[in-house]
Homo-oligomer: A and B are copies of this chain.
Amino acid sequence: MIKVLLIGNGNVASHLATAFSKTNEIGLTQMSSRQLDSLPIADVSLIAVSDDAVEAVANQTTENQGVIAHTSGSVNLNAIKAKRNGVFYPLQSFTKGKEINYSKVPFCLEATYTSDLILLEKLVKLIQAKSYSISSLQREKLHLAAVFANNFTNHMYTLAHDICAKEQIPFEILHPLILETAKKIESLSPEASQTGPAIRKDQKTIEKHLSQLSNAQQELYLLITKSIQSH
């Protein structure tokens, strides 16, 4: 049995606690970061607090708390000064109250010692999720990639929504196509999946589209079209 100390009571901590309690092979103690006076002995301590608080909370642990790993996407491994430090970062947006299908959650793991990495991998396996060994530098780039893949993508949805709203077109008509586009790249690279007037160099359609857009929309349409064509 792996003794896990889980520090924090936010979204990530609650979701992890739920997952850990489902298996008998994990012995879980969950604590708020405000009650850290006497910490129990543990094999792994997971610090699931806000990015800014990781370092201070980690400083309150001792060797008795085993591997000290944080669950943050953007905090360096070095923020944890303990010798046996680690990262246990689930790359998924956790919504309060919404249950997670862990088999789909990728965990980005990192640890100074290989034996600790293996221990963290074991934890991930026990909740039927998938682990990846990702360095702090890679995690930083992953965060940048996610800005494009998620934040910017969502803004494209917003712009599409604006166009629909202006003509009283129910936006839900586009939902199936949006989902299909997102699913397609699971079996085909996004570069190979590219369709539309830009990649076809269909100048007639591009000009027709531009004539229907506001100045700000035109600027975006042109730059993204250029980026698709020069890729």
A230-B183 Cα distance, complex, nearest whole Å: 30
- What residue in chain B is nearest A161 (Cβ atoms)? B190
Is A193 interfacial (CB 8 A cutoff)?
yes
Please tell me if the beta carbons of B91 and A174 are within 8 angstroms of each other in the complex: yes
| Range of interface residues on A (Cβ < 8 Å) | 35 or more
Please tell me if the beta carbons of B185 and A175 are within 8 angstroms of each other in the complex: yes
Please tell me if the beta carbons of A224 and B231 are within 8 angstroms of each other in the complex: no
Contact bitstring A185-197, B, C-beta under 8 A = 1, else 0: 1100111011111
Please tell me if the beta carbons of A153 and B157 are within 8 angstroms of each other in the complex: yes
A96-B168 Cα distance, complex, nearest whole Å: 32
A212-B137 Cα distance, complex, nearest whole Å: 11
Q: Is the interface of A mostly helix, strand, loop or mixed?
A: helix
On chain B, the residues within 8 Å of A181 by CB distance are 149-150, 153-154, 182
On chain B, the residues within 8 Å of A197 by CB distance are 147, 151
Could you name 16 residue pairs across A and B whose Cβ atoms are closer than 8 Å?
Answer: A91-B174, A91-B176, A93-B177, A138-B169, A141-B169, A144-B209, A145-B174, A146-B160, A149-B181, A153-B156, A153-B181, A154-B184, A154-B195, A155-B224, A161-B189, A179-B182
A residues with CB within 8 A of B? 91-93, 104-106, 108, 132, 134, 137-138, 140-142, 144-161, 163-164, 166-186, 189-191, 193-199, 209, 212-213, 216, 219-221, 223-224, 227-228, 230-231
